[in-house]
């Protein structure tokens, strides 16, 4: 994906109801693209709010989803925001 950064590798997606393959996820600005590994399917998502606003206002919720136990040093990553699924919409 030209101009995009790979943020997650070999993950399963809820949208892939057949569970027949995994996806790599790329990010740029407020867009995510999940590209099927070894296939042609692709899903495009957009953030529902500004990334910094999401990180600030939903830090605890996102980190609890990922970690369970949160420390002051833990930070929210763009991958965390994508994986929780609450702050992206399929377009």
Walking along the chain (91 residues) 10 residues at a time, the average pLDDT comes out as 91 84 94 94 96 95 90 94 94 94
Alpha-carbon span 48 to 62, nearest angstrom: 15
Q: How many domains does the chain have?
A: 1
Q: List % helix, strand, coil for the chain (3-state, nearest 5).
A: 25, 30, 45
Alpha-carbon span 82 to 27, nearest angstrom: 9
Residue 36 is part of which domain span?
5-90
Q: What pTM does this model have?
A: 0.88
Alpha-carbon span 67 to 79, nearest angstrom: 13
**Strand bridging mode 23-28 / 5-11:** antiparallel
């Amino acid at each position: 994906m030209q101009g995009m950064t790979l943020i997650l590798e070999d993950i399963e997606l809820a949208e892939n109801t057949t569970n027949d393959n995994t996806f790599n996820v790329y990010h740029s600005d407020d867009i995510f693209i999940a590209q099927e590994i070894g296939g042609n399917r692709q899903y495009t998502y957009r953030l529902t709010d500004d990334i910094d606003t999401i990180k600030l206002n939903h830090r605890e919720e996102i980190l609890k989803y990922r970690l369970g136990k949160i420390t002051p040093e833990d930070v929210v990553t763009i991958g965390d925001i994508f994986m929780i699924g609450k702050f992206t919409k399929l377009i």
